[in-house]
Amino acid sequence: MLGSSAVDHRSPGPQATASVKISNEISSVKDHSIVTRFDYDKCQSKLREFVYREMPMNVIKLPEMKLMERAAVVDYLSTKLEEYLRNQDSAENVVGSSTAHNLVDNFIKENGRFAILSHTWGKEELSYKDMRKQRNLCGQGYEKLKNFCTISHTDYGVEFGWMDTVCIDKSSSVELDESIRSMFAWYQESYVCIVHLAGSRTLADVAHDRWFTRGWTLQELLAPTRIRFYGTDWHPLVSGPRYDKGWDLDTWLAFNRGRESPILPIVSEAAGVDLRVIRLKPFRPDTNVVSTPMKWIARRNTTRGEDKAYCMMGLFGVSISIAYGEGAQRAFFRLFEAILKVSNSPDLFSWAGEPVNQIIHPSRMIPSSAKCYLNTAWLETAIEWTADENAVAVEPATLTSLGMRMTMLLVPVELRMTPRNSSMVFSTEAECTLSKQDLQLSWFTLPGETSSWPGDRPEYRVAIWNIKPTTRPVPSHAAAVLLRRWPRARNRERYTWHRVLMQTSAITFDTKEGLQSKTVDELKDLSITIETLYL
């Protein structure tokens, strides 16, 4: 391995000249063998990639409390990296290129850490422009920023912090769009998330804190791997070892010794999120379980209606463009559409209530908001799977201009009594060929849904969507919608069935064991058919 002295003793020539030129380009300081032993440019590239991939667009430099853009962060860390490598080389800690790259990885891990704040907006919040121009540095907003920065730097040893009010330039639509789409990832990549519960002085206050009613704070609770709760006066609400959601040493020991932070059950109940989700592992986005996160967000509020959809992107690992002014329903429709493109889970359709406005889309299989999932049960298995040699492909649900194209199992159903009408809400019992028990149905109608033809009596079907992908399609637990069509429409195309809107919950029922083994052809004898519909 050649050091700088070897280069100095070479006779001048093209090769030596090129070597000196490269050495000068990659380091401003000569005679340190660390920069000649591996490709410094690659290390700089790795550093730059980390900053642009995992760090927010703007951060607060600590302890100075100055805003820094990513480019400035790269420059700052590059200088530190160069000094770090020199020190390692002086101590003779480098043994070849691979070890040097490991040192760079360690440097990035230690020096690229940033703290992130989760809070609810209050009075006198500072803005991005305030921080840029160093103005309005007083009042409650500034005190909040100062306390966050002090705790982050002093208690957690990080050099960077992020706070939404001052780190997003909302005058830039491009920056706002990227920030909202990336926010879940930033909380996930943070070294620690500081949660400020402004209305809580003690643990007794936590359950009623406003923080648990806001839409954006849900992902801020779930995404981080390390989270710490602070009260009104910025003192920790729980003393003792830090509560880290990730399996670090103190959490592992606390769990196995039966010790658990007293704030966890309180947070779980206040947030409406299962304790196991908060306690055992970092949250991972999943489009196979849709109804559960929808329930979590349904009772929360956002200042802008569209944010009710935007704040859920990270929970499902999808991304949609930000378009304030489009309205809450259209934003939710685009979120649903994005989930549908990457998920074949029947849980997506396990909802009840009003569908999305027909001006947005004619389909009756798309809910109007997350609240439609409140009273529905999660389907534990997306699609029942058996090792059947007669397995068949089931076409996934597809959104078209005619409606949601779905392959469904249509089952005859007979109403046991005349529907009781109360303010356009109908309640009745129904006998279904596949169900072990009578179905208790409660639905409502929208304007224009009744027939104007005298004497018309509609026919009904239960349409099961979680059919098994085999020649024996009946699932043990069925999830379905109620369909209706009027006699005069029978001679029309297959999309003349219309979904009847359930008032409170989706239709689910256990099927008869004897019918679960029936083949498609055998089911036809019972007037049970598989059809592709547009709903």
The number of C-alpha atoms within 13 Å of 455 and in the hemisphere containing its C-beta is 1
523's CB contacts (< 8 A; 6+ apart) are 409, 473, 474, 515, 529
Structure-model confidence comparison of residues 485 and 160, the more confident one: 160
Tens digit of pLDDT for each residue in 336-378?
999 999 988 888 898 988 899 999 999 999 999 999 998 776 5
Q: Identify the residue whose tokens are 């100095």.
A: 8
Task: Tell me which of 342 and 26 has the higher pLDDT.
Answer: 342
**The two three-digit tokens of residue 298, written as one number:** 């349904």
- What is the per-residue pLDDT across 224-251, written as a single tens digit (0 to 9) for each? 988 999 999 999 988 654 444 443 434 4
How many of the other CB atoms lie within 10 Å of CB of 409? 24
Q: Please state the domain extents for the chain.
A: 4-111, 114-279, 291-373, 398-447+457-534
Mean pLDDT score, 507-525? 90
Strand (E) or helix (H) holding 87: helix 70-90
Over residues 45-69, mean pLDDT = 94
Tens-digit pLDDT profile for residues 277-310: 876 567 888 888 898 999 999 999 999 999 999 9
**Rounded to an integer, what distance in angstroms lies between the CA atom of residue 147 and that of residue 152?**
8
For 517, list phi and psi in degrees, rounded to 5.
Answer: -95, 0
CB atoms within 10 A of CB 83: 11
222 in Cβ contact with 300 (< 8 Å):
no
Smallest CA-to-CA distance from 143 within 124, 157, 170, 130 is with 124
Q: Which residues pair with 228 in a beta bridge?
A: 194
Rounded to two decimals, the pTM is 0.83
Distance, in Å, from the CA atom of 109 to the CA atom of 476, rounded to the nearest integer, reads: 49
pLDDT of residue 390: 53
Give residue-wise pLDDT tens across range 184-231: 999 999 999 999 999 999 999 999 999 999 999 999 999 998 899 999
Distance of CA 456 to the CA centre of its chain: 47
Strand 507-510 relative to strand 439-444, pairing:
unpaired
pLDDT for the residue numbered 152: 96
Segment 374-396 shows an average pLDDT of: 57
Report pLDDT for 92: 54
377: which residues sit within 8 A by CB, 6+ positions away? Answer: 291, 350, 505, 506, 508
Tell me: pLDDT of 100 over 90: no
pLDDT at 345: 81
**Across the chain, what does the average pLDDT equal?**
81
Strands 192-196 and 227-230, by their bridges, are: parallel
Among 90-94, 197-201, 326-330, name the one with the lowest average pLDDT. 90-94
Instruction: For residue 405, give the nearest of 493, 489, 531, 527 by alpha carbon.
Output: 531
pLDDT at 244: 46
Question: Is 138 a residue whose pLDDT tops 70?
Answer: yes
- Which residue, 342, 337, 340, 346, is CA-closest to 385? 346
Please report the pLDDT score of residue 147 as a whole number.
96
Residue 408 exposed, middle or buried by CB count within 10 Å (0-12, 13-18, 19+): buried
Q: Which residues, 6+ apart, have CB-to-CB distance to 50 below 8 Å?
A: 108, 112
Would you report the helix, strand and coil content of the chain in percent, each value rounded to 5? 40, 20, 45
Most confident listed range (125-134, 155-164, 351-360, 518-527): 155-164
Closest among 292, 287, 333, 308 to 216, alpha carbons compared: 308
Q: Pick the most confident of 102-111, 128-137, 357-366, 428-437.
A: 357-366
pLDDT at res. 278? 75
Q: How far apart are CA 82 and CA 104, in angstroms?
A: 10
Least confident of 112-126, 256-270, 437-451: 437-451
